[in-house]
Amino acid sequence: MSKINPGILLDNVSLQYPPPNMGLKHKLLLRDSYNFQQQPSLNGISLHVGPGQSLGLVGLNGGGKTTLLRVLAGILPPTSGSREATGSISTLLGDGVGFELEMSGIANILSRLIVLGASKAEASELLPTIVDFADIGDAIRRPMKTYSAGMILRVGFGISTARKPDILLVDEVIGAGDITFEQKSQERMNAFLTNATMLVLATHNLSLMEKYCNQVLWLEKGKIVMQGQTHEVLQSYRARYS
């Protein structure tokens, strides 16, 4: 039997809010971080994220980048069109998505690792590494509702990059912390790309996108404006908005 390469395929995906087929699981995941009335729809998106691909998502606020990441992750089901995914997917989407804020950082680390496919033994083994990476002191034992956005970011990044998934989806967080964390996160990202992990990165930091992405997709109002090699798309994007 031939091995199926990991990846994500979207075929003519559109999404309207609120999605009529959204289940309870997705509503709970998004309950504290999503305002459906303020989010854009996606319109006819076809996209393949495959082996060796590092894809940047660029566009103005409200263009659909975060929405697209959530569809790629399987958090939001398309209103129409189809999504197919193979391989392991890890996300760092900010805003505490997927965390139980009443639980401690340690409890969240263990539960999230198991959700991502780790055994209880593997989760326990990875825990000290993630705690060390987050470097938030005794706060790791307190409920996450007491955390700052930066602390949630540190814990989330540590979890998302602990197991080297096939595909990593990241929303505007690399370079968002302090200088020490920025250096640690970029070192971790470099290690991921060295191991040919697929990356989808949404960011307004175009220099960061040039560093990590070999392709860029430009979104406006939920539609693809342009997709191609990083330097070509960013040249057009800068010409439009510089």
Residues 155 and 172 in one domain: no
Q: 113, 30, 115: which is closest to 77 by C-alpha?
A: 30
Per-residue confidence (pLDDT) for residue 28, from 0 to 100: 54
Strand 80-86's sheet: what is its strand order?
Answer: 42-49, 7-15, 80-86
81 & 175 share domain? yes
Domain of 113, in residue numbers? 100-165
Segment 118-127, tens digit of pLDDT: 899 999 999 9
Give the largest Cα separation in the chain, rounded. Answer: 52
Residue 215, pLDDT > 70, answer: yes
Q: Using an 8 Å Cβ cutoff, are 233 and 52 in contact? A: no
Q: Which CA distances in Å does 239 have to 226, 227, 234?
A: 13, 15, 8
Report the DSSP pairing between strands 198-202 and 167-171.
parallel
Ramachandran quadrant class, 172 (left: phi over 0; alpha: psi -120 to 50; beta: rest):
left
Question: What is the per-residue DSSP string for 72-120?
Answer: HHTSS--SEEEEEEES-EEEE-STTTT--TTSBHHHHHHHHHHHTT--H
Q: What is the number of domains present in the chain? A: 2
| The token pair that represents 22 in the structure block | 């959204």
Is residue 32 pLDDT above 90, yes or no? no
Better pLDDT: 201 or 197: 201
Same domain, 170 and 153: no
CA proximity to 203, closest of 92, 49, 116, 73: 92
Kindly state whether residues 80 and 186 are assigned to the same domain. Answer: yes
Could you report the per-residue pLDDT of 41-100, keeping only the tens digit for each?
899 999 999 998 999 999 998 899 989 999 999 988 998 999 999 988 888 776 566 789
Same domain, 70 and 177: yes
Say if 147 falls within a structural domain: yes
In a domain, 92, yes or no: no
